[in-house]
A = this chain, B = another copy of it.
């Protein structure tokens, strides 16, 4: 029996990492985050805090479990992040009146100002991306990603 080292074995082989969806999603995301992180570093704010800020601004007083889901964060991370952001005066937290386990988070004026300060740059980046990537492909990609999010394996 000659050893077959790089051939298909009974267990088979994996796809090339070039066609691995998790890796491709990660690599694509890095393309976007590099300039975005640079933009946010001016305000000493992480990409996670930026996501939280946007979600809270978008959906008004909102409970933490919902923020976590929409900003793709786990609750333990969110706890720490909210504490820091509240200390920085970007957010407000108040415990619920009916159910005192819940707390509702809303954006402060300072938080709104921080968003305003980055809107122009953010939209510029988006426009540049749309130009280089193509509006058609952009929308198609967003549609496919939205479809993928809904799948449960």
Whether the pair A145, B25 counts as a contact (CB closer than 8 A) is: yes
Q: Is A4 an interface residue (CB 8 A)?
A: no
- Chain A interface residue count: which class? 35 or more
A135 to chain B, nearest CB (A): 12
| A contact residues vs B (CB 8 Å cutoff) | 9, 11-36, 47, 51, 54-55, 58, 70-72, 115-116, 119-120, 122-123, 125-126, 128-129, 132-133, 137-138, 140-142, 144-153
Whether the pair B146, A17 counts as a contact (CB closer than 8 A) is: no
Whether the pair B27, A149 counts as a contact (CB closer than 8 A) is: yes
The answer to whether residues A21 and B141 also contact, given A125-B153, A132-B151, A153-B31 and a CB cut-off of 8 A, is yes
